[in-house]
A and B are shown apart, each in its own frame.
Chain A
Amino acid sequence: MASLTKSGVVYDARGLVEPDPEPPMTAQIDGDSAVIDATDLSTRKINLELKRIVYDEGVNNVTILNPGSKHSLGVGILKRCNITFEGSPGWYACGLIDGPEVQINGRVGWSLGENMMSGSVVVEGPSGSLTGAALRGGDLVIKGNVGARTGIDQKGGTIIATGSAGINTGFMMQRGRQIICGDANDGLGDSMYDGIIYVGGKIASLGVDCVPGEMDDSDVEFINRKFEIYGLGTPPELKKFVCGKVLHNYDSLEPSERKLVL
């Protein structure tokens, strides 16, 4: 049973968006830039329109007005282009992207840039939990606090937060870098395999197998370069944390177990 809402979006009885929508063709295209007003569009229609403009029309600069925190916006764009969100895109924004440079003039919810391959996302506000989950490459820049488990399972790329971070930042991270300018809550870098976390403020506690590292010239060069690219001013004094390489060698076996294994 389908029902028509006030905004003209068709939902089925389970509340799911229409299964076979067409792009709404409502974007205003002006040369190499386009504007999509997302006020009356469903998530799916916004993404279809975005893909139509970027892929079919070949437009390189797209602005999305009134995203209204609708979730899963700007996902799966595999082409270099510039995307600007005027407002909060909600949860799961810019997941699985490969190439776009995204500017978000607002905040974001959970799971920003999940499994992102390359490109950049700059957020002018705070971000929810799981920012950059399974990030593979590219840069995420958050001008505010980030929630819990930032960069969980991170496999590459860089996450920069100018504010503080929640619990278990860098949980099970495998590669890549994080720069947290503020404080880090409990369990920083818990069970990390590799990668580097820089923290500017206080650390509530380190997670299992996360140990302080020594800053060298390449760290300083990297941090300065990223801060310069994104116009973040002078970096604060940062401490470096890396993996102690104990846990993932399974060196935590009981002596009797070790005898059996070895």
Chain B
Amino acid sequence: MCGIAGIIHRDGPSDMGAELTKMLQSMKHRGPDSTGYALYGQPDDLVTIRFMLAEPKEYGGFGVEEKLERSRAEVESRLAKIGADLATINSDTGYAFRATVRYDGDLKPLADYLEDVPGCEVLSLGNSLEIVKDLGDANSVMDQYNLDGIRGTHGIGHVRMATESDVDLASAHPYWAYPFADVAVVHNGQLTNYHLWRRRLERAGHRFQSECDSEIIAVYLAERLESGMDLNTAMKYSLDDFDGVFTYLVATSNELGIAKDEMAAKPLVLFESDDLVAMASEEIAIRALVGREVDTRDPFEREVLTWQV
């Protein structure tokens, strides 16, 4: 059991960090292990890189700070070598970092080069996407990463109850669709043909940062999008290609979509108005966001819906 939530503001940016936190906190009972956000701000010229250099549980151990300092210096020197001009770099936690760079090259070599640094995982890359995830509930992650003031047009979030893999930062959602800028996925469910798809995609040159079955959705969609397919069609293909139970949300810089498996095994409630679209595993999260009785509906099985932002 996990909880997922998504918001689209059709009338411009709002306090996306605080709004998603309200929704995710209300669904804490669906997943107390970790909480994650994929927030979309106004696209700008700089590429934002969110990366981690160690798991939270490693942090604070003997000699870890020196190691992290070395890794961080290595990341900065590699950014310079690959031609990414570092604008800002900071860390709210000591192990998870946010950097903005001037870079107009291919993102795959950039991500690969950074992830070659020991312990480094790129959590997200893009001109508008920022993925923030950590252990604990939504309020604690919001406080830890100062998400209160982050504004955005749309976003997706996830509260996780670990079933298929570890409780750690690498297994937390959302997943970035490596190596695609600004694509993120959250998933509620289990995929039973994970290993088959993982082997298939690894042979095609894709990398996985975790053992979590949900990561396959992000990489799968990335490959489909790479071949020129639009998001809606790619998601429809995924209904036949994935076995198991799932409801997932996917967001790009200008689109947000939902897909439900053929058994309708995982819940989703949808609220649509002229200026706001909100979706969540449970209605209680939509109530937490809009604060009043609203008409909502549950999509049926095999429904794929996408919205332009």
Contact = CB atoms under 8 A, between A and B. Distances in A.
A90 B283 contact: yes
B278 to A, nearest CB: 13
B300 A166 contact: yes
B283 A166 contact: no
A148 B261 CA distance: 12
Interface string B284-301: 101100000101111011
Contact of B282 (A15, A69, A148): A69
Contacts of B297: 126, 145
Nearest to B26: A69
B140 to A, nearest CB: 11
B287 to A, nearest CB: 5
Contacts of B267: 109-110, 128-129
Contacts of A91: 282
A110 B298 CA distance: 10
A128 B281 CA distance: 11
A88 B294 CA distance: 9
Nearest to B265: A148
Interface in A152-185: 166-168, 185
Nearest to A68: B287
Given A15-B28, A109-B269, A185 B300 contact: yes
Classify the interface of chain B: helix, strand, loop or mixed: loop
B262 interface: yes
A95 interface: no
Nearest to A17: B29
Contact of A69 (B28, B29, B137, B283): B283
Contact of A148 (B28, B264, B269): B264
A189 interface: no
Interface in A115-138: 125-126, 128-129
Nearest to A187: B263
A99 B99 CA distance: 62
B32 interface: yes
A70 interface: yes
Contact of B295 (A125, A147, A167, A168): A125
Nearest to A71: B284
Contacts of B32: 14-15
Nearest to B301: A167
A90 B282 contact: yes
Contacts of A129: 264, 267, 298
B92 to A, nearest CB: 22
A128 B287 CA distance: 16
Interface in B181-210: none
Interface in A73-118: 87-88, 90-91, 106-107, 109-110
B293 A88 contact: yes
Interface residues of B, number: 22
Contact of A109 (B28, B262, B282, B295): B282
A106 B301 contact: no
B300 A148 contact: yes
Contacts of B269: 109, 128
A107 to B, nearest CB: 7
A129 B269 CA distance: 11
Nearest to A88: B283
Contacts of A126: 296-298
A87 B293 contact: yes
A167 B284 contact: no
Given A69-B282, A90-B284, A167-B301, A107 B264 contact: no
B28 to A, nearest CB: 5
Nearest to B137: A15
Contact of A166 (B264, B286, B287): B264
B270 to A, nearest CB: 11
Contacts of B293: 87-88, 106
B264 A167 contact: yes
Contacts of A15: 28-29, 32, 137
A21 to B, nearest CB: 17
Nearest to B287: A69
Nearest to A183: B300
Among A90, A91, A148: residue with most chain B CB under 10 A: A148
B263 A148 contact: yes
Interface in A36-80: 68-71
A147 B298 contact: yes
A147 B264 CA distance: 8
Contact of B284 (A68, A149, A186): A68
Interface string B16-28: 0000000000001
A185 B265 CA distance: 14
Interface in B241-265: 262-265
Contacts of B298: 126, 128-129, 145, 147
A185 B28 CA distance: 32
Contact of A167 (B137, B262, B286): B262
Closest 4 interchain pairs by CB?
Answer: A148-B264, A69-B283, A69-B284, A167-B301
12 contacts: A87-B293, A91-B282, A106-B293, A109-B269, A145-B298, A166-B264, A167-B262, A167-B264, A167-B301, A168-B263, A185-B300, A186-B301
